[in-house]
Chains A and B, each alone.
Chain A
Amino acid sequence: MHEVAICQSIVKTLGEELEEEQFQNVREVHLRVGALSCVEPKILTHVFKYVIEGSPFHRCRLYAHTVEVLAACEHCNSNFKVGHYRFICPACNRPSSTIIEGNELTIYKIILEEPSYAEVNQ
């Protein structure tokens, strides 16, 4: 529902991270989207196209990779995958909601194209 706000945040983050002359060379941005982040990766990548239209980042493609939920059990010290939001340790059957993975919403990879011959010699 707030995918537009997240896309604007991506553009803002790229702007802070990169030098201005690099903006138009960004080709790919890869995101890690936790299953608990309340963000729908497909909508995100779709909305992104419209958000970057007319901006220096217009040649960039967004890839969103979903991260499954991983929790830690405080009782038996094991890690377990959480399906269907059931925060119950399969090993000892006790509830646990210490989340190790699944909350993230991070850019983990940016791919830049080196300036081409034509660009450098404009």
Chain B
Amino acid sequence: MQKLTNKAVGTLRVHDVSLNLLKANDYIAEMIRDEMKEKNILLLNLVSSPGSGKTSLLEETIRRMKGRLNIAVLEGDLETERDAMRIREQGVQALQIITHGTCHLEAQMIQQALPNMNFEGIDILFIENVGNLVCPASYDLGEDIRVTLVSCTEGDDKPKKYPGMFLTTDIMLVTKSDLLPYVPFSVDAVLRDACEVNPKIESFVLSALKGDGMDEWCNWLSGKVKAKKGVNVSDIF
């Protein structure tokens, strides 16, 4: 038999706390960041709407970097292993994370996938996030650089419509630039809007299909690998 309480029924007690709901994710993201730093691997998180060309960009980047830099890819999708298969056809390591309906990748999913990859000699690890411009913005995956793609077929109003994503983005890539003459898309407008949301954002305009702008992108990427490793890239090439 418990002791009687002399407290009035229904007394409320207020607890002032400060509990971050994304704390667990951020903690794991830091662990991933530390691991990648130790391995000297540049980690990039690729985000965009579905169909703006993340996988095509990766295919073309891998093709151009062959023999220069070693790339590995983690693919995130709701279902199927199709993207990972496309990447493997380029002769590089790719692992598919199937989220079964979850609209974003979380740091824990990356952490679980990492031990299944061989990082021997790898310079860059790309994470291709689930196609979605909303939720992936909230989840740090331990990346060094967040890259957001905007294809010119989806419209130049994306930065203002999905500001959360562009605010947390380091690089914006305007893709499918070969279609610019055929669609009402203003590169100036998208750059201006993106800079208004995030003044620190850098950007490239490119076409993975025709190759325009790909050299600049690849050179920039090499420079980032160099900075991460703290060595002269000309020694590698």
Contacts and interface: CB of A to CB of B under 8 A. Distances in A.
Interface of A: 1-2, 5-6, 9-10, 12-13, 17, 27, 31, 36-39, 85-88, 95-97, 104-118, 120-122
Contact of A6 (B16, B17, B21, B200): B21
A112 B20 contact: no
B167 interface: yes
B2 A120 contact: yes
Contacts of A17: 17, 19
A2 B5 CA distance: 42
Contacts of B5: 114-115, 117, 120
Contacts of B197: 85, 87, 97
A38 B135 contact: yes
A29 to B, nearest CB: 10
Nearest to A116: B9
A5 B102 contact: yes
A111 B103 contact: no
A121 B4 contact: yes
Q: Secondary structure of the A side of the interface?
A: mixed
Nearest to A17: B19
Interface string B1-29: 11111011111111111111111100000
A122 B198 CA distance: 59
B163 interface: yes
A19 to B, nearest CB: 12
Nearest to B163: A85
10 closest residue pairs by CB, A with B: A95-B199, A85-B163, A114-B11, A107-B19, A2-B135, A110-B15, A116-B9, A38-B164, A120-B5, A105-B21
Contacts of A9: 21-22, 24
Contact of B16 (A31, A86, A109, A113): A109
A112 to B, nearest CB: 5
A95 to B, nearest CB: 3
B195 interface: yes
A85 B195 CA distance: 11
A110 B17 contact: yes
B3 to A, nearest CB: 8
B150 to A, nearest CB: 16
B45 to A, nearest CB: 15
